[in-house]
Structure 1
Amino acid sequence: MSSSLLSFRNVVLLSTALRVGLILYSEWHDERSVVKYTDVDYRVFTDAAAFIANPGPGHTNQAKGPLTELLGRFVNLGDPYSRETYRYTPLLALLLAPNGWLHPSFGKYLFAFCDIVNGVLIYQLLKTEILSRTMRWNPTTSKSRAPARPPAEIERFSTLYAAVHLLNPMVFSISTRGSSESVLSLFVLATLYTVLKDQWDLAAVLLGLSTHWKIYPLVYGLGCLGVISGPEHGNGLKRIVNWRTIRFGFISACTFILLGIGCYAIWGYPFLYESYLYHIHRLDHRHNFSPYFYQTYLSYPEYGIPVDTTQTIWIKLLRSPLTSFVPQMGLALGLGLLFGRKKEDLVFTWFVQTAVFVVFNKVCTSQYFLWYLLLLPLLIPRLSMTKGWAVAYGAVWAGTQALWLSEAYKLEFLGQSVFHGLWWRGLVYVVGNCWVIAGLVDVYDKEGQ
């Protein structure tokens, strides 16, 4: 592609047109087809937004928080949790309130806009923080390095890597179908942007907001601790626990707590349960990439049959939904401490933390892959591997999903009882993804800055 075609402006225009076209197509398609283009979650969001904007008379569909009870005539908001299966922050429902009075696809346009902003942030980070500080391998030897990249090369590669996000079919299809992942992605990228710009107080606020939106960005805080302190604190405990890390943690925790208190004051216990507590003891027996689903499916309590209370403590422990958190959080937090030493390594640290969090999550769907794919364009410049290995990693990552999906199709659409086959394919998915993550750790260029 010529440099005129591969300009960032053209990539943004193409990305915008692509998303607008898909949203318009989704409206046309949904009116004419039984199988909808729009994700079912978008209908859940829209219903929750309608409930929050239209409180019912008396106590039907009224926000149930203590502040609402005290100031009912001044705080007249509905309860988004009147919509079954809405298990998100009420701020998302507030954000999508225009779905009801402006346009039904307002939320899709908002999510697509966040996609574009994410691409702009990725481009800016590549241009100012990553490629400008990355040395090139000397083509004559693998041990020496060429001078830093010239401005024209930085511009070209910044555009190319940003296009990996903006023109990624998984990214634009999920946002135009009505998934809200791009909003959280914007908060995460904004947090990373402020961290790399050394704006630590603002980064702490954004991390608290991100964790309020969804809990997984919590792990990034631990990955930041070694970076916050700087080299002057050495490598011991003092590097993790000092006044700078305490300040960062305090601001971040206060942001998270204040947002939670505000939502609880208005919407009460339903907010606390649906947004947080439900996910702790969640028993999702529906098939998903995680092999945990099969054990949950086999032990899921059936209606009308009393729960067996004679199980041993080990059986109860293995069946507990909390057990899955041990390998997941142990790896995610441990890798944050292991790799989070320098600011230049923070993208890599967050990527690895997110990848293991997703792979070992007790529920895993394709939407979760966006959590770490968001960081991939920022990581690519620091991966030193041959094209052969790049193809191998990509093939294993996609192949394990294809293997699982081929069996899931038999269950979902053909009604065949293939739970056991789906389970071992889930194990292959975990092993394959762990191999890819280990490979990326191995080819990460720690001396690239």
Structure 2
Amino acid sequence: MEHRAWVLLAAAALLRFLLMGIGLYHDQNSRLKYTDVDYQVFRDGARNMAQVNPHAQTGAFPLWGKLLFGACDLLCGALLWKLLVLRGSNGLWSGLWLMNPLVLAISTRGSCDALQGVLVLATLLLLQNEAAPQLHRIGTDLMPTKQAKTVSSRTEIRTGSERLRPLEAQTGSSRVFGASVLFGLAVHMRLYPITYSLPIVLSLGLDQNSGNRNVNKRNTSGKGHNQWRSSSALQILNRFFSKDMLIFAVGSASVFLSLGLIFYYMYGEQFLNQWLLYHLSRKDIRHNFSPFFYLLYLSSDPGVEKGVMSSALGLTLLLPQLLLLIAASFAFRSDLPFCCYVHTHILVSFNKICTSQYFVWYVCFLPLVCARLSLSLTRAFVLLFLWFLGQALWLLPAYLLEFESVNSFFFIWTASLFFLIINCIILGQIITHYTPLQNTFTAGKWLRHKTD
């Protein structure tokens, strides 16, 4: 990485050390703790796994766990820098993560979201490395002339019509397998990245085969490269599957299932319930930005019949997410980082549970997205102001409920609806003003069209 990257990382590390020290002092001298309650859960869980007395030193807050999460925070920044440069953007955009007040607070309070971000971003980096030559070609084409010449002089450009040497093809498959291992681990740690499976598989399967056809076949009729000829069922299936897609699917599924079986063998039903089944029946009626919390609150009434109603409610809450995620997968699969951002924004906004920590899930993609946005500064500030306004309007009735015991559920629900509308507006504006970067195989098709 460049000298500027190390300076940015050093400044970010210094800020995190400072906040950890302030938090340690605050925890020792204030009744309202700076450290998140989840950090104590991590410590107790680690102590139980190590078979140490779970009741020993429960009042202490050692910094080693926070140092681990802080290091992951910095590693996220380094991965973002590499991804940005790989995509032809300025690496300094990674400062949106490294210097973000929300990210600083979440990691130094003891939340593990940065660890999840490392796994997801590393997965994308391995997949994007497969596309590096073509991504640089398109990235330089979109840059100003002087900047494009500078990047082109540093990077070996290969067109989409060039065949990979055997060693290069083997390296590409190794990257895909490495990405599948990291992705399986990411889904094991937290389930939400599983939604990225569809766009990744579509990119490695459908788009790769489509790109290969366009590069390696001449259309003698002159009617374009995208028309599919009638063929057998086997040929049709072959259009949707590729070697890389199968490697990724089998690799990630194997890691996910293997880890699940190992820990189930070690800890039994308790692990299965707390790892997976708990999320299916989870109902948070407080500290929840989602407008669906009110339905959960009403359905939690002891007088309400559970059974069929609970199942119908769960399906109703799942359908909007599912439909939007499928549509986004097909619409934005050619730019995986952006597609993952859209997926995460949809998932967080329309999920039945939504807390402040969930915002970090899509904030880690913001540097990659903002680097390719054509939003005016005024419009960007207005959207940011609306996002904070929505949270402020929610926090007021939530405070009255939590600390003053005022029945303000209806007002919280109204504020949650308003916040959902704001998030939809923000996502719509980002999609409208984003300049997509095509993936490897679409890039190959683009280059062929340009050269023909």
Question: Residue 48 of structure 2 corresponds to which residue in structure 1?
Answer: 51
Range with greater deviation from structure 2 (44-53 or 32-41) = 44-53
1:103, distance to aligned residue in structure 2 (A): 7.8
Residue 228 of structure 1 aligns with an amino acid whose one-letter code is L
Give yes or no for the alignment of 1:252 onto 2:252. yes
User: Which of the numbers 412, 416, 438 marks the counterpart of 2:406?
Assistant: 416
Letter in 2 for 1:188: V
Distance 1:164 1:447, change over 3 A: closer
**For the structure 1 residues 222 and 47, does the alpha-carbon distance in structure 2 shift closer, same or farther, using more than 3 Å as the test?**
same
Match of residue 73 from structure 2: 115
Greater length-normalized contact order (CA 8 Å, ≥ 6 residues apart): 2
Question: CA distance change for structure 1 residues 106 and 120 in 2, over 3 Å: closer, same or farther?
Answer: same
- The letter for the 2-side match of 1:222 is L
Picking from 305, 308, 314, the partner of 1:321 is 314
1:335 aligns with 2:328: yes
Alignment of 1:143-182 (within 5 A): 157-159=90-92, 161-182=93-114
Normalized per residue, which structure has more helix? Answer: 2
Which residues in structure 2 correspond to 1:384-423 (within 5 Å)?
384-423=374-413
The alpha-carbon distance between structure 1 residues 221 and 240, as it changes in their structure 2 partners (threshold 3 A), is farther
Q: For 1:349, which of 330, 339, 343 is the aligned residue?
A: 339
Q: CA deviation at 1:262?
A: 1.1
Could you say which residue in structure 2 is the equivalent of 1:433? 423
When the two chains are superposed, the root-mean-square deviation of aligned CA atoms in Å is: 2.6
Contact 2:348/2:354 (<8 A) preserved: yes
After TM superposition, the score normalised by the length of structure 1 is 0.76
Partner of 1:16: 13
Which residue in the other structure is 2:195 paired with? Answer: 219
* C-alpha separation in 1, matches of 2:193 and 2:79: 18
Q: Secondary structure at the match of 1:36?
A: coil
SS in structure 1 of the partner of residue 192 of structure 2: coil
Structure 1 residues 101-130: Cα deviation after superposition (integer angstroms, max 9, x where no partner): x98221001000100111111111112334
- 2:364 matches 1:374: yes
Residue of structure 2 equivalent to 1:194? 126
Letter in 2 for 1:256: F
- Partner secondary structure for residue 351 of structure 1: helix
Aligned partners of 1:447, 1:208: CA distance in 2, in Å? Answer: 25
How many angstroms does 1:365 deviate by? 0.3
Q: CA deviation at 1:317?
A: 4.8
CA contact (8 A) 2:299 2:310 kept: no
1:242 is displaced (CA, Å) by 3.9
Q: Trace 1:60-209 onto structure 2 (pairs within 5 A).
A: 104-131=62-89, 157-159=90-92, 161-198=93-130, 199-209=175-185
Cα deviation, residue 331, structure 1: 1.4
Q: Which letter does structure 2 place at the counterpart of 1:170?
A: L
Q: Which residue matches 2:274?
A: 274
**TM-score, with structure 2 as normaliser:** 0.76
Name the structure 1 match of 2:136: none
Q: Could you report, residue by residue, the CA deviation over 1:14-72 in whole angstroms, capped at 9, with x for unpaired residues?
A: 1111111111221111111100000000011111112222267xxxxxxxxxxxxxxxx
Does the CA contact (< 8 Å) of 1:332 and 1:354 recur in 2? no
The amino acid of 1:105's aligned partner reads L
The farther-off stretch of 112-121 and 229-238 is 229-238
SS in 2 for 1:426: helix
What letter is aligned with 1:275?
W
1:357-416, Cα deviation, whole Å (9 max, x unpaired) = 110111000100011110000111211122222122222222211221222122222222
Within 2, Cα distance between the matches of 1:195 and 1:402?
39
Partner secondary structure for residue 212 of structure 2: helix
Q: Say if 1:355 and 1:372, in contact at 8 Å, map to a contact too.
A: yes
- Quick one: structure 1 residues 244 and 447, their matched pair in 2 at CA, closer, same or farther if it must change by over 3 Å? closer
Segments of structure 1 that go 5 or more residues without pairing to the other structure are 57-81, 84-96, 132-156
Quick one: which amino acid aligns to residue 393 of structure 2? L
Deviations 1:64-103 (A, max 9, x none): xxxxxxxxxxxxxxxxxx99xxxxxxxxxxxxx9x99x98
CA contact (8 A) 2:181 2:251 kept: yes
**Count of aligned positions:** 369
Counterpart position of 1:33: 30
